[in-house]
Amino acid sequence: MGYYDDHYMSKKPPKKRNWLTPFVIGLVLGAFLFAVLLPSLVQNNLLPYQIMVNDDTATNQHQTDNRAGDNIEPSDIRNVQVDISTRISEIVGEVSPAVVGVINVQDQTDFWQQEDSGEAGTGSGVIYKIENDSAFIVTNHHVIQGSSQVEIVLPDETQVEATLVGSDLYTDLAVIEMDANYAEKVIEIGRSEDVHVGEPAIAIGNPLGLHLSGSVTQGIISGKQRAIPQDFNMDGRADWQAEVIQTDAAINPGNSGGALLNMEGQLIGINSMKIAESAVEGIGFAIPVDDVIPVIEELEQNGEIMRAYLGVEAYSLNDIARVEWERSLNLPDHIEGGIYIRSVEPMSPADHGDLESYDVITELDGEPIQDIVDLRKHLYSEKSVGDQLTITYYRDGEELETTVELTSLSY
């Protein structure tokens, strides 16, 4: 009688796999690599970590000395030199002497009506030029606003009296002059136009007061040509739009006027403001250095910025109900924006151009004007004193045009 599994019983049992041979081969190979290749890797600094090596000769000598009764000393260790400095620390070491503190000193009146001087605030500044016996420092207008005296605090905490050369509200820039003997370093000027979004940036300044002077923060360039509304008179309406560089490098109160640097250690912006809201983190702004240079040069020469002047008190159409556009101003339906004139200054360019109250300006030199910020940007950025300005406006529903010659008005 046969069985279905007879063929299975007739086969030889399988041999057991020998695991010892591969293990021995691996062990020998590993020992060979360790003994032969490792010293070569260490010698050529090809390892990603440092090796502390005992000097056998020194060790043997210490052992001999120990047997002779001499004092026991630690074995000689070959010190591996590690350069822990980074490009950032190099930049900070080079640039920090050019970043100073700025103290705003204002006259105060005490209870007995006696005038006294007191510190009203602090900020930062950057030494950008030495000429003859003077060192020139750029800072923010709001840092020195209302000051009766300005003092500079050097990196070694020495306080030096300085003179305010000039300042400008709209660009938030100011120039200060001090004795050149106190200037150790002049910062190198870069080009903000060459800055790319995503590249590293370094901010140096005095956040939260001079006791944290020379603080350094690092981040990236988060954006370029950001338009940030500015409300100077705190009436809830934007008076200006600052075009700034956005960075996530921490910029806090006291950093204002400090330096924003690229990885070449060059100045690419003057730190100016930070969105101070609890829900916002990592958003700081700096005035591009390409915009800073012409302003501080004019401040050096004139002490102020001479801007083109039209002579109107005007408001954005968006500030009034749209139903009034047609009912009170008689504007056509296709008008989407503009500014209406509340009053005209006597003998001003607007007065000479026959503009009247409640005229609605819609274009300047053929460019559409949507609000009061557009008017100021056109006047202050594109026009100069003495230029001709063509104004398109509506009066009682009729489109009119006039050309005026701009005069000057300083702020």
> In whole numbers, what is the pLDDT of the chain averaged over residues?
80
pLDDT exceeds cutoff 70 at 317: yes
Mean pLDDT of the region 303-311: 91
Structural domain includes residue 216: yes
Mean pLDDT of the region 183-190: 94
Position 260 scores a pLDDT of: 95
Structural domain includes residue 14: no
Dump pLDDT digits (tens) for 358-385. 999 999 999 999 988 899 889 988 998 9
Indicate the pLDDT class of residue 59, thresholds 50, 70 and 90. Answer: very low
Position 348 scores a pLDDT of: 92
Dump pLDDT digits (tens) for 190-209. 999 999 999 999 999 876 55
Position 4 scores a pLDDT of: 34
> Are residue 211 and residue 248 in the same domain, yes or no?
yes
pLDDT exceeds cutoff 90 at 36: no
Indicate the pLDDT class of residue 393, thresholds 50, 70 and 90. Answer: very high
Mean pLDDT of the region 338-347: 92
Position 255 scores a pLDDT of: 76
Position 168 scores a pLDDT of: 93
Position 67 scores a pLDDT of: 41
Structural domain includes residue 28: no
Position 72 scores a pLDDT of: 40
Position 71 scores a pLDDT of: 47
Range of the domain at 133: 91-182
> Higher model confidence: residue 118 or residue 83?
118
> Are residue 321 and residue 266 in the same domain, yes or no?
no
Structural domain includes residue 18: no
> Are residue 298 and residue 321 in the same domain, yes or no?
no
> Are residue 314 and residue 404 in the same domain, yes or no?
yes
Mean pLDDT of the region 250-263: 84
> Are residue 246 and residue 263 in the same domain, yes or no?
yes
Position 277 scores a pLDDT of: 54
Dump pLDDT digits (tens) for 143-173. 999 888 999 999 888 999 999 999 999 999 9
Structural domain includes residue 71: no
Q: Which residues are catalytic?
A: 142, 172, 256
Boundary residue ending a domain (303, 319, 351): 303
Boundary residue ending a domain (182, 205, 231): 182
The proportion of the chain whose per-residue pLDDT surpasses 70, expressed as a percent, equals 71
Position 112 scores a pLDDT of: 52
Of the listed ranges 48-57, 200-209, 223-232, 358-367, the least confidently predicted one is 48-57
Mean pLDDT of the region 252-262: 84
Structural domain includes residue 354: yes
> Higher model confidence: residue 233 or residue 186?
186
Position 237 scores a pLDDT of: 73
> Are residue 299 and residue 311 in the same domain, yes or no?
no
Dump pLDDT digits (tens) for 102-146. 998 877 655 554 544 555 678 899 999 999 999 999 999 999 998
> Are residue 200 and residue 282 in the same domain, yes or no?
yes
> Are residue 292 and residue 198 in the same domain, yes or no?
yes
Boundary residue ending a domain (242, 271, 303): 303
Structural domain includes residue 198: yes
In this structure, are residues 269 and 260 in contact, taking their beta carbons and an 8 Å threshold? yes
pTM of the model: 0.69
CATH code (residue 213): 2.40.10.10
Q: Please give the tally of structural domains in the chain.
A: 3
Structural domain includes residue 242: yes
> Are residue 238 and residue 171 in the same domain, yes or no?
no
> Are residue 117 and residue 200 in the same domain, yes or no?
no
Position 407 scores a pLDDT of: 92
> Are residue 355 and residue 320 in the same domain, yes or no?
yes
Indicate the pLDDT class of residue 39, thresholds 50, 70 and 90. Answer: low
Of the listed ranges 69-78, 178-187, 223-232, 309-318, the least confidently predicted one is 69-78
Dump pLDDT digits (tens) for 273-298. 765 555 556 788 999 999 999 999 99
pLDDT exceeds cutoff 90 at 68: no
